Amino acid sequence: MIRFSEVTKLYPGQGEALKSLSLYIPPEQMVFVTGHSGAGKSTLLRLIALMENHTRGQILIDGINIQKVPEKHRYYLRRQIGFIFQDHRLLNDRTVFDNVALPLVIAGYDHKDIPRRVHAALDKVGLLQKEKKRPLALSSGEQQRVGIARAVVNRPPILLADEPTGNLDPKLSIEIMRLFEEFNSIGVTVVIATHEVEMAKALKHRIIALKDGRQINFGAELPNE
């Protein structure tokens, strides 16, 4: 469950990226956040992922007011979230296996359990054969899927994806969206930021449309709270 109450994010010198935004995403929902470049989509995801602090308002994740959680304890909330970057953000000096294993190592999983879980995640994205490769030896689509495997390996209840199909051809894009739907079907909350409004519409999930840091009516019905 994600709730924003009149959330404002001010970048000093850049103005407000989000302007008194209120929204509610119930558990196990799949939503698209759409809008033109600069609308505030990435900012929205980054606030949920605790990558940065909002300026005003209140953000609740699983009922927890994140502003009240000191940095020291935020790691726990961050482990509930898988994040997929448009530019992948893989560690290029490590193998695919090690990249995907990172969240498990961080969470302190027993080292005996790690290979099994990593293989399951790589299998899910169809990259089992490439586990020993380095990210730069892979295509952009493959790198994106490594990023997805890394985000889901820890089975987080919330998955955030920032332009996950931005660099990919339409066929691959649909494949990746199907993957997200699969995760969503087993109870994962999925929030996808994309400027490709048409694709979002075609997939018939809820759409949160942003413009200049505010939500605009996109005709998508609001869920019952």
Partner 1 sequence: MNDLKKPALSLQQKFQSWWQTHLRCLMASLGQLMQSPASTILTVAVIGIALALPAGLSLALNNLAHMTGAMDTTNTISLYLKKELTDEQVSQLQKKLETNAQIHETVFISSDQALKEYGQTSGQGDLIELLGDNPLPAVFQLTPDKDQSPEQLDLLTAQLSKLAEVDQVQFDRQWSRRLHSILQLLNKFSTVLSILLILSVLLIIGNTIRVGIQSRIQEIQISRLFGATRAFIRRPFLYSGLLYGLFGGILASLLLLISYSMLAEPFQQLISNYQLVSPSQAGSFTKYCLLTIFGGAFLGVISSWIAVSLYQKDLENSEFT
Q: Which residues bind partner 1 (CB under 8 A)?
A: 11, 46, 49, 51-52, 71-73, 75-79, 83, 89, 91, 102-103, 106-111, 150, 154-155
Closest contact distance (angstroms) between CB of 86 and ligand ADP is: 9
Strands 30-34 and 206-211: parallel
Q: Compute the distance between CA of residue 160 and CA of residue 142 in angstroms, rounded to an integer.
A: 18
Q: By C-beta, is 14 or 224 nearer to ligand ADP? A: 14
- In the complex with partner 1, the residue whose CB is nearer, 12 or 219, is 12
Least separation, in Å, of the C-beta of 198 and partner 1?
Answer: 30
Q: Is 40 in the site for ligand ADP (CB under 6 A)?
A: yes
H/E stretch holding 176 reads: helix 170-185
Pick from 34, 40, 42, 54 the residue near Mg ion by CB under 5 A: 42
The answer to the question of residue 37 lying near ligand ADP (CB under 6 A) is yes
In the complex, the smallest distance separating the C-beta of residue 61 from ligand ADP, rounded to whole angstroms, is 19
Q: What is the DSSP string of 41-86?
A: HHHHHHHHTTSS--SEEEEEETTEEGGGS-HHHHHHHHTTEEEE-T
The angle at the Cα of 158, spanning 123 to 183, to the nearest 5 degrees, equals 35
Q: Which of 34, 43, 144, 215 binds ligand ADP (CB under 6 A)?
A: 43
Selected binder of ligand ADP within 2, 7, 17, 101 (CB under 6 A): 17
Q: How far is CA 93 from CA 24, 84, 128, 173, in A?
A: 39, 19, 19, 27
According to the binding rule CB under 6 A, does residue 41 interact with ligand ADP?
yes
Least CB distance to partner 1 at residue 210 (A): 19
Task: Write out the H or E segment, with its range, that includes residue 217.
Answer: none
CB of 43 to ligand ADP, least distance (A): 3
Residue 193 corresponds to which tokens in the numbers above? 């930021």
Q: Which is nearer to ligand ADP, 104 or 207 (CB)?
A: 207
Compare residues 25 and 209 and give the one whose CB is closer to ligand ADP: 209
**How far apart (Å, rounded) are the C-alpha atoms in residues 152 and 85?**
13
Nearest to 205 by CA among 31, 46, 37, 72: 31
Which residues here bind ligand ADP, judged by CB under 6 A? 11, 14, 17, 35, 37-43
Which residues here bind Mg ion, judged by CB under 5 A? 42
